[in-house]
């Protein structure tokens, strides 16, 4: 019987979540900023300045935030792995019993579970890997890269944030046109997300569009009220 090979997407590299969050945040942030400032009746120059400032500040913030978040998580996991390795060295029998108990609780015959656990006890590196998967839900050596997460978030935020600015940068002076471009970007981002998650592309695209529209609507109302109040 021929073995069937299949491949899974990379779900542990740290880039997909950061890239998706970065792109969506960039789109929503600048769409909302432009809607708010535009609702206040500001000029095209002011809108561009606001959008570019939001892009730069947001991209740097997202990149630094992702790096710090993933680095902190990895440091915490490293500390837990060191603790687990210490336990494997000073109390291998107790750790073996932990595995046996966990596997039998899932329905594995105790004799088989004990045989596998006994084999692992003689191989500390493999034992650490299995214990990490069972107790921490991680695979040593396959942790997400903080730099990958940071650059993915930085780059995708920048791409998302520039989309609602494109019409102004091309010389147009229409808030509605800029918001329409941002809406198309949100829908497209939702479609891309569906490609990675196997969700329906139409539903995913509309969901992102509606979320962004809600944010833009709220800031537009605020900008209109403040603009009227200032004048």
Q: Which pLDDT value is given to residue 111?
A: 86
Tally Cβ neighbours within 10 Å of residue 159: 18
Q: Which pLDDT value is given to residue 58?
A: 94
Q: Nearest to residue 33, comparing CAs of 182, 210, 193, 154?
A: 182
pLDDT digits (tens, 9 = 90+) for 18-35: 788 888 899 999 999 999
Q: Judge whether 75 and 138 are in contact, CB under 8 Å.
A: no
Most confident of 8-17, 119-128, 214-223: 214-223
Q: State the greatest distance between any 2 C-alpha atoms of the chain, in Å, as a whole number.
A: 81
Q: Judge whether 28 and 211 are in contact, CB under 8 Å.
A: yes
Is this model's pTM higher than 0.85 or not?
no
Kindly tell me if the per-residue pLDDT of 10 is higher than 60: no
Q: Which pLDDT value is given to residue 160?
A: 94
Percent above pLDDT 70 for the chain: 92
Domain boundaries, the chain: 22-224
Mean pLDDT estimate for the chain: 86
Distance between CA atoms of residues 10 and 197, nearest Å: 12
Tokens of 159: 């791409």
Tally Cβ neighbours within 10 Å of residue 99: 21
Percent above pLDDT 90 for the chain: 48
Q: Which pLDDT value is given to residue 218?
A: 95
Kindly tell me if the per-residue pLDDT of 188 is higher than 60: yes
Distance between CA atoms of residues 187 and 207, nearest Å: 8
At how many degrees (to 10) do helices 44-90 and 92-105 cross? Answer: 120
- Residue in the block written with tokens 């509309």: 206
């Amino acid at each position: 019987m021929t073995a069937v090979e299949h491949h899974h997407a990379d779900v542990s590299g740290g880039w997909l979540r950061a890239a998706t969050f970065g792109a969506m945040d960039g789109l929503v942030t600048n769409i909302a900023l432009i809607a708010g400032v535009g609702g206040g009746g500001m000029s095209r120059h002011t809108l561009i300045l606001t959008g570019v400032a939001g892009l730069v500040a947001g991209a740097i913030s997202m990149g630094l935030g992702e790096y710090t978040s993933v680095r902190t998580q990895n440091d915490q996991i490293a500390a837990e792995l060191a603790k687990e390795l210490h336990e494997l060295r000073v109390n291998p029998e107790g750790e073996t019993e932990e595995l046996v108990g966990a596997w039998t609780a899932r329905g594995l015959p105790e004799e088989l579970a004990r045989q596998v656990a006994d084999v692992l006890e003689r191989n500390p590196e493999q034992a650490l890997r299995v214990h990490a998967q069972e107790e921490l839900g991680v695979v040593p050596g396959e942790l997400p890269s903080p730099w990958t997460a940071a650059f993915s978030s930085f780059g995708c935020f920048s791409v998302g944030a520039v989309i609602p600015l494109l019409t102004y940068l091309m010389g147009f002076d229409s808030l509605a046109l800029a918001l329409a471009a941002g809406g198309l970007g949100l829908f497209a981002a939702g479609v891309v997300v569906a490609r990675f998650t196997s969700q329906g592309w139409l539903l995913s695209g509309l969901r992102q569009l509606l979320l962004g529209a809600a944010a833009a609507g709220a800031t537009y109302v605020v900008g209109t009220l403040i603009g009227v109040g200032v004048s």
